[in-house]
């Protein structure tokens, strides 16, 4: 008795004849396809955009991909974090907690997706969005986002 062979459509003609290998060669299981389609985790600055001309007070609207935004609770939970903004300040070391009370660093520990930055002087300003765990350590493997805006005097 012969085993029927699974046939693949022309672009997938490289499928293997063995039944278990054929499944993997023609698309694999559902969970591996979902993992491959999941967006890379990253922080996103939705507003303002690079090059925007703004006043000395700017509303920064944030988004994420591949992460759940939650309030800071002191815990390190995979896939969960909260926003920080670095305004004209370099990002802290990857394994170090983001310090509180430092000029140019804005903690958004409530789980909110926006913050208003005030008191910017006229000229260009760099804003970097960083996601951190509940213990304020930057999340590993999560991309930051940066915009450069220009403040004009009112």
Q: In whole angstroms, give the CA distance from residue 51 to residue 61.
A: 16
Count of alpha carbons within 13 Å of 4, Cβ hemisphere only? Answer: 3
The pLDDT of residue 110: 96
The structure's pTM equals 0.76
The pLDDT of residue 32: 52
Q: What is the pLDDT along the chain (154 residues), one digit of tens a residue?
A: 444 433 333 333 333 333 333 334 444 455 555 556 777 899 999 999 999 999 999 999 999 999 999 999 999 999 999 999 999 999 999 899 999 999 999 999 999 999 999 999 999 999 999 999 999 999 999 999 999 999 998 7
Compute the C-alpha angle 69/75/81, nearest 5°: 20
Domains, the chain, ordered by start: 1-38 (no CATH), 42-151 (2.60.40.10)
């Amino acid at each position: 008795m012969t085993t029927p062979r699974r046939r693949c459509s022309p672009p997938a003609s490289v499928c293997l004849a063995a039944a278990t290998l054929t499944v993997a060669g023609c698309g694999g299981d559902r969970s591996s396809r979902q993992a491959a389609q999941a967006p890379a985790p990253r922080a996103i600055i939705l507003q303002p955009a690079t090059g925007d001309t703004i006043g000395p007070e700017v509303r920064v609207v944030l988004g994420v991909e591949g992460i759940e935004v939650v309030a800071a609770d002191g815990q390190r939970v995979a896939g969960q974090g909260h926003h920080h903004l670095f305004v004209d300040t370099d990002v802290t070391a990857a394994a170090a907690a983001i310090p509180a009370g430092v000029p140019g660093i804005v903690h958004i520990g409530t789980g909110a997706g926006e913050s208003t930055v005030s008191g910017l002087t006229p000229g260009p300003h760099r804003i970097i969005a960083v996601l951190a765990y509940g213990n304020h350590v930057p999340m590993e493997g999560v991309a930051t986002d940066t915009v450069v805006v220009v403040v004009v005097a009112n």
